[in-house]
Chain A
């Protein structure tokens, strides 16, 4: 508690922050392996995304801890470099297990489970005396029933605040094979977070028409998957079937939202007949069920355009700040946004997440 007070005192942004996307990494592959059983234990080598890797660097180069290890592996250094200077009250951790690209659902489920055990033991356990770290339950959506069991296993944990998956998938997330996952989320009041990753890799389709060539292309188009998933959630009636179910789109882009909703609301007028379970216009589901995190925030040359866009999308109620620390495309809480109206800033940087995650 004392440490939290101290953080509030030293913050330099002048406001409390809840950061909805911070990445913790294990110190080594062996650390994850130690939470696995055979036959997976000896099979697991850890893996990244494979192709489409950043040509510059994947991690902020100044995020390497001075005491050794890779970026994001040292909870104390994350406190030192991110939480204290900016005034973070909570950091929502999103581990990168990359298990969603694997064809073998049992193996993928074993990796997800190991990541959850590791996170609970370390970042949410022995390195979390001040409670600033909140975690995400990693699931393998390849086996939705196993995923639901994994959610059950952790739902009672005080520091896991959501369920997470990569945006890479074999089918849009509104479809019914995923419902065991959503049922478990709803039962335990855990939002379902989608984070970019494994799109077009392993078993997953690429949301652009075919495979792009360059990282710039792949990275820009990551937001396409989010749009497809969101439309699917809405039109399949997931929020009607699971009225308490909520989702958060993390790192999927922000400014496409108004255009997409206008389009969908317009389509709804003519095509409602096809999806009669939608009792409201698509945009009306947003406030109750959907949150979007800010990073990477599109930054037009004219700040006025961004401010208008934030108003159009009702950012005051649905946008939550995220930094994506320690990844290369980190957004600084001090510089990612133009000057916002006070009330809007407070909600984006703090209150929306506080309510959403019941912190």
Chain B
């Protein structure tokens, strides 16, 4: 249970992702159009590394013979069987109430950098930066 700084916000621009291991759990952190989300990196179907899948849009429900492609960048597809999950809430598109992947809270916070491994040759510096923080 805890708070984990996973990197600088600037290094995770919209459309990008970072897969990290926190408390022995593999977790994918995503920037979806400027908002951040974190998903467990394991597909509820057969446990594939879900967060490594392609990020796409999808065809919204429509009338037969009609295609309404939308939500570009908000849907991740499993790298195995291609099930679609909504990055913003972890729910599968075909059965959002029963088939979903665990999500984690993500925040962008100003973090006072603590110096790691100080050595005699360096001086302690403090940088203020926006950090992506995952709460699990």
Contacts and interface: CB of A to CB of B under 8 A. Distances in A.
A, B: real partners: yes
Interface residues of A, number: 14
Contacts of B53: 61
Interface in B63-119: 77, 79-82
B82 A332 contact: no
Nearest to A334: B47
B34 interface: no
By secondary structure, the B interface counts as loop
A60 interface: yes
A269 interface: no
Nearest to A336: B46
Contacts of B77: 56
A332 B47 contact: yes
A302 to B, nearest CB: 13
B79 A60 contact: yes
A219 B48 CA distance: 22
A330 B49 CA distance: 13
A329 interface: yes
Contact of A61 (B45, B46, B54): B54
Nearest to B43: A335
B46 A56 contact: no
Given A61-B52, A61-B53, A335 B46 contact: yes
Given A57-B82, A328-B82, A62 B49 contact: yes
B49 A56 contact: no
Residue of B45, B52, B80 with most partner-chain A CB within 10 A: B80
A331 B82 contact: no
A23 to B, nearest CB: 15
Contacts of B47: 332, 334-335
Contacts of B82: 54, 56-57, 328
Given A56-B77, A57-B82, A61-B79, A331 B46 contact: yes
Contact of B52 (A62, A329, A330, A332): A62
A334 B48 CA distance: 11
Interface string B50-61: 001110000000
A332 B81 CA distance: 11
Nearest to B47: A335
A332 B46 contact: yes
Residue of A54, A56, A334, A336 with most partner-chain B CB within 10 A: A56
Nearest to A64: B79
A319 to B, nearest CB: 18
B42 to A, nearest CB: 10
Nearest to A62: B79
A330 B53 CA distance: 15
Contacts of B46: 330-332, 334-336
Nearest to B77: A56
Contacts of B48: 60, 62, 332
A186 B49 CA distance: 43
A222 to B, nearest CB: 16
Residue of B52, B54, B81 with most partner-chain A CB within 10 A: B81
Contacts of A335: 45-47
Nearest to A333: B46
Interface of A: 54, 56-57, 60-62, 328-332, 334-336
Given A61-B53, A331-B46, A332-B46, 16 more contacts: A54-B82, A56-B77, A56-B82, A57-B54, A57-B79, A60-B79, A61-B54, A61-B79, A61-B80, A62-B52, A328-B80, A328-B82, A329-B80, A330-B80, A330-B81, A334-B46
22 contacts: A54-B82, A56-B82, A57-B54, A57-B79, A60-B48, A60-B79, A61-B54, A61-B79, A62-B48, A328-B80, A328-B81, A328-B82, A329-B80, A329-B81, A330-B80, A330-B81, A331-B46, A332-B46, A332-B48, A334-B46, A334-B47, A336-B46
List of 7 A-B pairs having minimum Cβ-Cβ separation, nearest first? A56-B82, A61-B79, A335-B46, A332-B46, A62-B79, A60-B80, A330-B80
